[in-house]
Amino acid sequence: MTVLALDFETANERRDSACAVGLAWIEGGAVVRRESRLIRPSEMRFSPGNIRIHGILPADVRDAPEFPDAMAEFLPDLSRGLILAHNAGFDIGVLRASLGAYGLPVPGLAYLCTLQIARRVFPDPAGCGLGKVAGRLGIRFSHHDAGEDAYACAEIALAAVRETGADGVLGLTHALGMPVTAVPAGPPPPRERPGAVSARAVAAARAERAAPEPDLAFAMRGSTGNRYAIALERRPFGLYLRCSCLAGRNARRCRHVDAIVDGDVTDLLSGNLADVERLRRLIAAAPFGSRVMPERVRRIAAA
Ligand SMILES: [Zn+2]
């Protein structure tokens, strides 16, 4: 039986926003193959909190394949193998939600959670997060890179096999009395509602509405190294992002405003990531849709 570890990184709070996948195959008690791919999420919206975790920016995935193409070569192994994931509910959830988002059926899946394995075999008051367990076991990897995380997950399972004397990874289920979780094959899962957001995001949005509207301003580095100031203005017809670059001063769309609206903080000099997220929520709640661009604003103003 194929045994492989799986790890996803996501662009935002939605499960169907995978932006990277990592896989590591186990054979004969060792990791024998590692792969990782960048994925272009169908909605190019990156939350600063997620960027802080994995460091993947919209620009990194702009030319990457979308989920079905990125995953096509791996789905056969995932469907006939035993999947390992650290906090597997998350990664299996991303897999299912992403298949659903593209109207694809879910293959039969069988998985084991290495977080649960670690809690039984390597308990520690410091916790059993991937970085913590890997650190205690001396597994060297770079945390929050999908390929590296999958590798660490596989090594944790192998360490548990050695520790328990189990007969391979599948033998852990007997050694630990921990059954494999099986997901039956089925039709495409229902799409996440377009507005579906986590309870935490809803609470944040509520707090945002209750709070006075923030004065949002950003500093961006231009392609020639110039520093440009972007300020959010409230005009009678809605939100307006004014940029101090030449295009912006002429009320034309510019790449600096585009980047901020996309959540691409590659050239953000002001470092106020939370404000980028705040701006995103303001735009999402704005009556004129998800883009705040001078040309659009002009059209609305002229109408
Ligand atoms: Zn500009």
Q: Tell me, what's the pLDDT at 289?
A: 44
Q: Pseudo-torsion of CA 265, 238, 231, 296, nearest 10°?
A: 60
Closest CA to 118 of 91, 154, 170: 154
Return residues with CB closer than 5 A to ligand 1 (ion): 243, 245, 248, 254, 256
Q: Tell me, what's the pLDDT at 237?
A: 62
Contact by Cβ (8 Å): 150, 23 = yes
Angle 207-217-209 from CA coordinates, rounded to 5°: 15
Distance 57 CA to ligand 1 centre (A): 19
In this structure, which amino acid lies at residue 99? L
Distance 89 CA to ligand 1 centre (A): 42
Is residue 220 within a helix (H) or strand (E), and if so which, with residue range? strand 217-221
Q: Which residues pair with 227 in a beta bridge?
A: 221
What's the distance, Cα to Cα, between the start and end of the chain in Å? Answer: 64
pLDDT bin (cut points 50, 70, 90) of residue 57 is: very high
Q: How many other β-carbons are positioned within 10 Å of the β-carbon of residue 142?
A: 10
Distance 77 CA to ligand 1 centre (A): 46
What sign for the dihedral angle of Cα 25, 80, 115, 10?
A: positive
Distance 225 CA to ligand 1 centre (A): 12
pLDDT at 295 > cutoff 50: no
pLDDT bin (cut points 50, 70, 90) of residue 119 is: very high
Average pLDDT on 243-261 reads 87
In this structure, which amino acid lies at residue 239? L
Measured between alpha carbons, how far is 18 from 95 in angstroms, rounded to an integer? 8
Distance 237 CA to ligand 1 centre (A): 21
Contact by Cβ (8 Å): 170, 3 = yes
Distances 168 to 8, 71, 185, 209, 280 between C-alpha atoms, Å = 24, 27, 26, 53, 47
Which fold is adopted by the domain 3-183? Nucleotidyltransferase; domain 5 (3.30.420)
Q: Tell me, what's the pLDDT at 248?
A: 86
Q: Tell me, what's the pLDDT at 303?
A: 36
Distance 228 CA to ligand 1 centre (A): 7
**Domain spans in the chain, listed from the N-terminal domain onward:** 3-183, 199-302
φ/ψ (deg, to 5) at 33? -155, 140
pLDDT bin (cut points 50, 70, 90) of residue 298 is: very low
Measured between alpha carbons, how far is 156 from 153 in angstroms, rounded to an integer? 5
Measured between alpha carbons, how far is 169 from 134 in angstroms, rounded to an integer? 17
Distance 54 CA to ligand 1 centre (A): 27
